[in-house]
Amino acid sequence: MEEKKCVGSHAEHICTLAQQNEFEDIKKLANNPNFMCSNCGRVANDDKNLCSPFSFKQISPGISLE
């Protein structure tokens, strides 16, 4: 899958928080995930916490995102 351009404030993204070892914050932001990043595969409750988010509602079992 092609990496997509980051959207929103990168400082709020889970990938940045992981680099800063902010794992307690990440646990709160990903305790009921509804979105996945198409760049890194991380999940989050809110799309604003991912670089290239897509909603779980956008995919069906067996559907490729490529």
Alpha helices in the chain (DSSP H): 14-19, 23-29
Residue 1 placed within a domain: no
Give the model confidence (pLDDT) of 34-64 as tens digits. 999 988 899 999 999 999 999 988 876 665 5
pTM above 0.85, yes or no: no
Residue 36 placed within a domain: yes
Give the model confidence (pLDDT) of 17-33 as tens digits. 999 999 999 999 999 99
Q: Which domain holds residue 52?
A: 10-57
Residue 48 placed within a domain: yes
Six token digits for residue 3: 């990496």
Number of domains in the chain: 1
